Structure 1
Amino acid sequence: MVNFWKLVNKVIKEADILLLVLDSRMPELTRNRELEQKIGSKKLIYVLNKCDLIPKDEMEEVARKYSPSVFVSSREKLGGTLLFRKIMELSRGEPCIVGVIGYPNVGKSSVINLLKGKKSASISPQSGHTRGIQFISAKGKIKLIDTPGVLEFSEKEIMKQIMIGSKNPQHVKEPDYYAAKLIEQFPKMFEKHCGLEYAGDPYDFLEKFALKSNTLVKGGNPDMNRIGRMLLQDWQKGKVHEKFLEN
């Protein structure tokens, strides 16, 4: 962790502007207060990624809490032009170095590719894919600095790590337990995703979905571990959401 913070401090020092990439569905959970304190008086833009996964009225509420901010969706290719304009506004049109920081799997590499206009930073749904610091040239005389994800959670805080995508579901013990916790917290989203009605018991919901999707162990019983892991993966891939933005 000491070496990691050394890298982050280097990025903060070298960057003229910093982009803090957050997950629009859970911006507060994907913030890192210690990191923001280190940024100090540097110019900062909150980049709220995956905005296609939240309703428009929720976007307005989030925008009031995070300023200056730009909503983007790397999957739907939304917001790239607005983000570029905001960077140019803060740099007064001058060449600048922009550091891209945030937790694993919030979409830092995707945001870089959105700014660049084509694939440059490598992307993977598995957490921790980007290693070390990468310097990337982008349009408008912008040089981007990509960093590894920022982790402040301990191994004991598995639920938070799962929600932000920093914990690979393949490495989660008792995935049905954590899937049940997510279902309890976001029942409407999982009703839509699974095509089932939630009656208040997340384990009953998991069993019904396992039967519906034919996710069974030998003997025809629900495979709770496998169905739990599947839903955790769907959550991290952005497949579980309330609704998409209107075009």
Structure 2
Amino acid sequence: MNINWYPGHMKKTKDLLQENIKLVNIVIEVIDARIPASSKNPDFDSLFRDKKRLIVLNKYDLSDPNINKQWEEYYRSKGWSVVLYNSTNNKELKKLEAAIAEASKEIVERYKSKGILNRTIKAMIVGIPNVGKSTLINSLCKRKSAKTGNMPGITKGKQWIHLAGNIDLLDTPGILWPKFEDKIGALNLTFTGAIKDEVLELEEISLKFVEKMIEMGKVNAILEKYQIEAGNKPLDILDNIASKKGYILPNKDIDYLRVANLLLNDFRAGKLGKITLETPGNTIKS
């Protein structure tokens, strides 16, 4: 299966990042805690190699707590600040604000040593589509300063937002990279919705998801959710979901598209449990 989605506005976004990187002191990179490697744009490491970095492992409430700890340690070992965050829970806002302040501390102290007080820290927030970046910004602003939605690629242009703590934040649209060399990573992006469902064959994606869950030893999460048997092969699971839910077309064929939407949406909403699809030790890229 060949998976690629790189609309024209993403090329423009990469140009925008390159043009504005000199204006900022710190880069806040939002990634999906369920797929921390796959949701991390590999172009960012070269683009931001000279900048202080804060990694926000967003949606950690949907991911495996034990594996979250592994990813925290992994990214800290690279010299980056890390925070686990749930952008849909405003009660966690102080934790994020504290993480930004801590990541900026060295920069503030450097300004103070030069006699520069109350200098505004400029931060850029980046991430691939649909990792919850805009919802995170709205929480920081405590108002609807950034458009949000559950469709990847909704933020179209850059905007500066002033935050408490004397921080100016540059928001940027979500950006993928032109070619997915890592096929496993590309599939992970489809599972979480980082690539628009409209450009995918969801029936095949759902089957790949079942295969992934079997491979990880997590298939019982599907069987228990829908109260079905596994069968002899991965496709049997989709068939059994359809039978249980009555997803049968008038000609008595199985409505695999409806099954695919149900299964993937339930995973994305955390209805299959707290699941992380990759660990630092089993990923191709970092």
Smaller-chain TM-score range?
0.7 to 0.9
8 Å contact 1:130–1:148 — kept in the other structure? yes
Matched, 1:81 2:94: yes
Q: CA deviation at 1:96?
A: 1.4
Q: Could you say which residue in structure 2 is the equivalent of 1:165?
A: 193
1:112 aligns with 2:137: yes
| 1:226 counterpart residue number | 258
- Listed one character per residue, the Cα deviations across residues 167-189 of structure 1 (whole Å, up to 9, x for unaligned) are 2223323x221101111212244
Residues 1:205 and 2:237 aligned together: yes
Identity of aligned residues (%): 28
1:51 paired to 2:64: no
- 1:23 equivalenced with 2:32 (yes/no): yes
Deviates more, 1:7-16 or 1:162-171: 162-171
Matched residues in 2 for 1:153 and 1:33: separation? 11
Paired with 2:154 and 2:135, the residues of 1 have a C-alpha distance of 12
Q: Which residue of 2 aligns with 1:143?
A: 168
- CA shift in 2, pair 1:169/1:146, >3 Å: same
- In structure 2, C-alpha distance between the alignment counterparts of 1:169 and 1:83, rounded to whole Å: 30
- Higher Rg of the two aligned structures: 2
TM-score (norm 1): 0.86
Q: Distance in 2 between matches of 1:31 and 1:20?
A: 8
Aligned: 1:62 with 2:89? no
- State the Cα deviation string for residues 211-240 of structure 1 (Å, max 9, x = none): 222222104432012211333344445544
Question: Aligned to 1:184, which of 198, 208, 211?
Answer: 211
Unpaired stretches in structure 2, ≥5 consecutive residues:
1-9, 109-117, 214-218, 276-286
Task: Give, in whole Å, the separation in 1 of the partners of 2:229 and 2:27.
Answer: 43
Shift of the alpha carbon at 1:78?
Answer: 5.3
Secondary structure (helix, strand or coil) at the match of 2:90 reads: coil
Deviates further, 190-199 or 27-36: 190-199
Displacement of 1:11: 3.6
List alignment gaps of at least 5 residues for structure 1.
Answer: none
Task: Specify whether residues 77 and 184 from structure 1 end up closer, same or farther in structure 2 by C-alpha distance, changes over 3 A only.
Answer: farther
**Alpha carbons of structure 1 residues 183 and 9: separation in structure 2 relative to 1, 3 Å:** same
- Shift in Å, 1:129: 0.7
Counterpart residue number, 2:113: none
Q: Which runs of 4+ in 1 moved over 6 A?
A: none
Letter in 1 for 2:104: S
2:153 is aligned with 1:128: yes
The amino acid across from 2:194 in the alignment is S
TM-score, with length taken from structure 2: 0.75
Q: What SS does the aligned partner of 1:5 have? A: helix
**Does the CA-based 8 Å contact 2:121-2:168 persist in structure 1?**
yes
* Offset, 1:110: 1.4
Q: Which amino acid aligns with 2:206?
A: A
2: CA distance, partners of 1:153 / 1:199: 38
Change (3 A) 1:125 1:107: same
